[in-house]
Structure 1
Amino acid sequence: MSSLALYRDDNPATPLLRTGDGDEMAAILGKIGVRFERWDSPVIPPRDAPADEVLEIYRPYLDQLMGETGAGSADVVSMHGAGEGWDAARRKFLSEHVHAEDEIRFFVHGHGDFVLHVDRQVFNVRCTAGDLISVPAGVPHWFDGGADPDFVALRVFTNPDGWIARYTGDDIALRFAAPDDKRV
């Protein structure tokens, strides 16, 4: 289930707010420029569907989204279990960073947490199947797919080089680590 937990950035133990209501999540996140919405697809591809099949199923949504955002490409990222390379990739995603373009993701299967650090607050957004999130360029954040990842997501890019991060050097992600996190 999708959820939002809001914290002060100096108090990871006590949430100021928790909600699983999609409309409330969209309204709260909209105040900081984050787009959050649910897509209902008449067809959901199998978890192990090839990337081109997933892209074709979501093509009408992608065409509209790319037209709205000026994005030029989309791909599929799929993680099932902590296989080879996941630990290194996870460390990269878990370090607070910003991008020069919006980071747009749609979850086809599974879940992952986008954690945003804005105005001394931390917004932990648990995205699940059917969720679209767009984190604006320049917003400090990190992504946690979990110690044992399980997700299929569409990624939408404006920059033809794809995912490019500029790390902030802030260790805040360590202070907001999940209980099963082995980084601490």
Structure 2
Amino acid sequence: MAVIKVRNTSEVIEGHDNVLTFLEKQGVLYEHWDMSKLPEELKEKFVLSDEEKEGILTAYKDEIEELAERRGYKTWDIVALSDATPNIEELLKKFENVHTHTEDEVRAITAGHGIFIIKGNDEVGYFDVELEPGDVISVPEGNPHFFTLMEDRQVVAVRLFIETEGWVAHPYQDTVSK
């Protein structure tokens, strides 16, 4: 399950219901998918063939289609990042800049870990959402955020889009420190 760390107060929020309640108040969608549906051989694999990516999409076909129908997403894919990813350091530097998008940024983690740093309301400020397999998050359109890897430096996630062009990062300058 996801863990939230509020940067201004050092508060740590754990437990599905507490995480869900906090994120709902910030306008962030949070769900959890059943990881037992993922084929065992893909649970800890971070370099994937096209066939293996398709296997993940097939395993979560119902969840993906239901979420897409509910939220208007039209296309989806798999992203896999690890130290084996070409140019991983350059990618991470690009990811670690606060930015916005013209549509939601959606991730369903199927292996490894990732962390979204999201700007909350004025009272909350920036908070970290540490994600693990099964966690699904949607950062709302226009909400400042960035994504990076956690200490294990590996993640596989389903990404959903309305249009892939809508997912272009727009730099966000903030007077508040992240």
TM-score w.r.t. the length of structure 1 is 0.83
User: How far apart are residue 90 of structure 1 and its match?
Assistant: 0.6
Aligned to 1:179: none
| Long gaps (5+) in structure 1 | 9-13, 177-184
1:149 is paired with a residue whose SS is: coil
Aligned to 1:2: 2
Task: Give the helix-richer structure, 1 or 2.
Answer: 2
Deviating more after overlay: 78-87 vs 132-141: 78-87
Aligned to 1:65: 67
d(CA) in 1 for partners of 2:29 and 2:95?
Answer: 20
d(CA) in 2 for partners of 1:82 and 1:167?
Answer: 27
- Residue of 81, 95, 102 corresponding to 1:100: 102
Is the Cα contact below 8 Å between 2:35 and 2:133 reproduced in 1? no
Does 1:161 pair with 2:155? no
Aligned to 1:44: 38
Is the Cα contact below 8 Å between 2:102 and 2:167 reproduced in 1? no
d(CA) in 2 for partners of 1:32 and 1:100?
Answer: 18
After TM superposition, the structure 1 = structure 2 runs for residues 107-126 of structure 1, keeping only pairs within 5 Å, are 107-120=109-122, 121-126=125-130
Is the Cα contact below 8 Å between 1:95 and 1:171 reproduced in 2? no
Letter in 2 for 1:5: K
Letter in 2 for 1:21: G
Aligned to 2:142: 138
Q: Deviations over 1:72-115 (max 9, x none)?
A: 11100111226431111111110000011011100001111101
d(CA) in 2 for partners of 1:53 and 1:61?
Answer: 14
The change in CA–CA distance for 1:82 and 1:124 in structure 2 (over 3 A counts) is farther
1:63 is paired with a residue whose SS is: helix
User: How far apart are residue 40 of structure 1 and its match?
Assistant: 1.3
User: How far apart are residue 41 of structure 1 and its match?
Assistant: 4.2
| Long gaps (5+) in structure 2 | none
Is the Cα contact below 8 Å between 1:81 and 1:148 reproduced in 2? no
Deviating more after overlay: 93-102 vs 34-43: 34-43
Is the Cα contact below 8 Å between 2:119 and 2:144 reproduced in 1? yes
d(CA) in 2 for partners of 1:171 and 1:128?
Answer: 30
The change in CA–CA distance for 1:154 and 1:108 in structure 2 (over 3 A counts) is same
Aligned to 2:76: 74
Identity %: 30
TM-score w.r.t. the length of structure 2 is 0.86
